[in-house]
Amino acid sequence: MDTSITISLTLFLTLCVSTPGAGGQKEGAKGEHKHSPRSSETKAGSRCSYTFIVPQQKLTGALCVNTQSGVTNRSELALLQMELRRQQEQLEMLQRQLEQEGSLAVEVRNLRRQSNHMNSRIAQLYAQLLNEVILKKDLALEQQRMEGLLLNATTQALDISNNHRELEKKYGTLASMMSSQNQLITRLEKHCQCRDSSQPSLPKSEPEKSQSSVHHNYSSEADEMTNNAQRDQSAPQLQPVKREGVRPPLITNSNPPTDLPFISFPVTKSPGPWQDCQHVLNSGETTSGIYLLRLQSTNRLLQAWCEQSHSQGGWTVIQRRQDGSVYFYRNWEQYKQGFGNLDGEYWLGLEHLYWLTKQAQYKLRVVLEDWRGQQVFAEYDSFYVEPESDWYRLRLGQYQGNAGDSLSWHNNKAFTTLDKDKDSYRGNCAQYHKGGWWYHMCAHSNLNGMWYRGGHYQSRYQDGVYWAEFHGGSYSLKKVSMMIKPT
């Protein structure tokens, strides 16, 4: 700390000087010679007094008064000056340290200010993150709610399907009763015809005309009834109706056969049943339609659509999509037995497919059509499925065609539905793709998915009717058909 002190000092120093010897005497003699009156006084008193007048000066250090000799005072003054310089150097060093500490304090204040700003920013980001977490939790709850609604809708659809089966069963019972009544009417008419044969020819002509008109109307009604009974193969209760069938309208034999033939759509030259659609073609039936098939090694009777106009005919259609009229997101039992409309969209059934492909060596042909009318196909020289004990595992041969190979990736894979997960994915691919298929991880083709109108569709998952090598997985095809034929 710098302090200035102004000191006015008047020092009275009394020095006692004793000068024994010649020097003193000489001085005394000279004094005596010059000033005789004071010499006695000087000699008598041994003290002399001096007065020093020190001017005002600014002192920065301690004032030291020393009565020693002049040489000693000069050395101490030098030491004092050195000490003063050292203290000044220390003071300058302290000032520099103070300046440095001041700059550090400024930096610390700046860092504290920045830290407060960062803390407020972190608090803001934490609040945003908390809001995001809450929003995601709400979205997860909403997703769970939507999934619950979807499962409820699926359950309702299954209930409706079961109700539809019950209605079909009742309808089949009514159709059976109608068939029995029609057979009784036909027998009575034949009995009346036999009785009228003994009458004259003129009266005979009138009953024949009446009989002909009755049979014509009956034939159309029977065909319509049989066609309606074939709408949904998911109801196994319709098989007794298929076995019983409807009697042909015109019978030349007087004795009716014990096992009545089955009339399918269209009306065929022979009643069947046939082994497959190639057998139908070999029998001379060249019209595409619904035919009754009896599979070898089993007593199963089933109906299927025979495509006789495509690629030389003889194709048994096992799957068809064309207008989205049939819901394909179904359970294992329905995919096993088959479902849908034989003259529209339908699935033949895995169990029927197993017994059908067990009869001979079959090839598979997949026909695809987009929404611009372009048609392509994919053909595999070998196709069959394993039994249910192996989950109807798919076995495919070599590919050829112009659609691209999107099915070989599913080769040797088990069939998966919404209630039986047999794919290689950690989740259920059938639930993601809304169908039943030979899923892997998950699909390069999904021909049993949701039918979307217009081609390209937007969905959380790729759940449309797609063939990846033909327009990709986000394009739902307009028409699809899978058909098999003996090689």
Task: Report pLDDT digits (tens) over 249-268.
Answer: 333 333 333 333 333 344 56
Overall domain count for the chain:
2
pLDDT at 168: 76
pLDDT at 267: 54
What is the distance between the alpha carbons of residues 451 and 89, in angstroms, rounded to a whole number? 95
pLDDT at 73: 79
Q: Percent of the chain having pLDDT more than 90?
A: 45
pLDDT at 209: 34
What is the distance between the alpha carbons of residues 94 and 386, in angstroms, rounded to a whole number? 97
What b-and-e string marks burial along 366-383, b requiring 16 or more CB atoms within 10 Å of the CB? bbbbbbeeeebbbbbeeb
The closest alpha carbon to 5, from 55, 56, 52, 54, belongs to 56
**Does one domain contain both 284 and 426?**
yes
Contact between residue 248 and residue 261 where contact means Cβ atoms under 8 Å apart: yes
**Does one domain contain both 295 and 148?**
no
Cis peptide before 273 (omega within 30 of 0): yes
Which whole number is the average pLDDT over 190-197? 66
**Does one domain contain both 343 and 454?**
yes
- Map 238-260 to HEC letters: HHHHHHHCCCCCCCCCCCCCCCC
**Does one domain contain both 327 and 450?**
yes
pLDDT at 161: 79
pLDDT value at 221 more than 60: no
pLDDT value at 303 more than 50: yes
**Does one domain contain both 308 and 438?**
yes
The closest alpha carbon to 391, from 319, 316, 313, 336, belongs to 336
Domain at 408, CATH number? 3.90.215.10
pLDDT tens, position by position, 43-80: 445 566 666 666 665 656 665 555 555 555 788 888 89
Tokens of 79: 């030491």
Q: What's the distance, CA 456 to chain centroid? A: 18
pLDDT at 197: 54
pLDDT tens, position by position, 67-114: 555 555 788 888 898 999 999 999 999 998 888 888 888 889 899 989
Taken as a whole, the chain contains a residue count of: 487
CA distances from 74 to 60, 62, 66, 183, 486 (A): 18, 16, 11, 158, 135
**Does one domain contain both 177 and 287?**
no
Cis peptide before 200 (omega within 30 of 0): no
Residues facing 367 on adjacent strands = 377, 481
What is the distance between the alpha carbons of residues 155 and 176, in angstroms, rounded to a whole number? 31
Sequence-ordered list of residues with C-beta below 8 angstroms from that of 465, at least 6 positions apart, any chain: 321, 446, 447, 448, 449, 450, 451, 452, 476, 477, 480
Which whole number is the average pLDDT over 218-247? 36
413, part of any domain: yes
452, part of any domain: yes
pLDDT value at 235 more than 60: no
In the structure, what pLDDT confidence band is assigned to residue 225 with cuts at 50, 70 and 90?
Answer: very low
CA distances from 391 to 76, 298, 420 (A): 116, 19, 9
Tokens of 467: 């063939």
136, part of any domain: yes
- Residue range(s) defining the domain that contains residue 140: 85-188
**Does one domain contain both 428 and 318?**
yes
- From 144, 160, 188, the end of a domain falls on 188
**Does one domain contain both 162 and 298?**
no
80, part of any domain: no
What is the distance between the alpha carbons of residues 258 and 241, in angstroms, rounded to a whole number? 16
229, part of any domain: no
pLDDT tens, position by position, 388-443: 999 999 999 999 999 999 999 999 999 999 999 999 999 999 999 999 999 999 99
Tokens of 346: 């339908």
**Does one domain contain both 309 and 436?**
yes
71, part of any domain: no
112, part of any domain: yes
**Does one domain contain both 313 and 441?**
yes
6, part of any domain: no
Report field, pTM of the whole predicted structure over 0.75: no
Mean pLDDT for all residues in the chain: 76
| Residue 187 CB-half CA count within 13 A | 11
Q: Percent of the chain having pLDDT more than 70?
A: 69
pLDDT at 172: 74
In the structure, what pLDDT confidence band is assigned to residue 219 with cuts at 50, 70 and 90?
Answer: very low
Residues facing 365 on adjacent strands = 379, 483
**Does one domain contain both 473 and 330?**
yes
Q: What's the distance, CA 50 to chain centroid? A: 114
In the structure, what pLDDT confidence band is assigned to residue 157 with cuts at 50, 70 and 90?
Answer: confident
**Does one domain contain both 361 and 473?**
yes
Q: Which residue did the predictor score with more confidence, 17 or 468?
A: 468
- From 153, 188, 223, the end of a domain falls on 188
pLDDT tens, position by position, 167-181: 877 887 787 777 777
Residues facing 390 on adjacent strands = none
pLDDT value at 190 more than 90: no
What is the distance between the alpha carbons of residues 347 and 321, in angstroms, rounded to a whole number? 9
- From 141, 170, 188, the end of a domain falls on 188
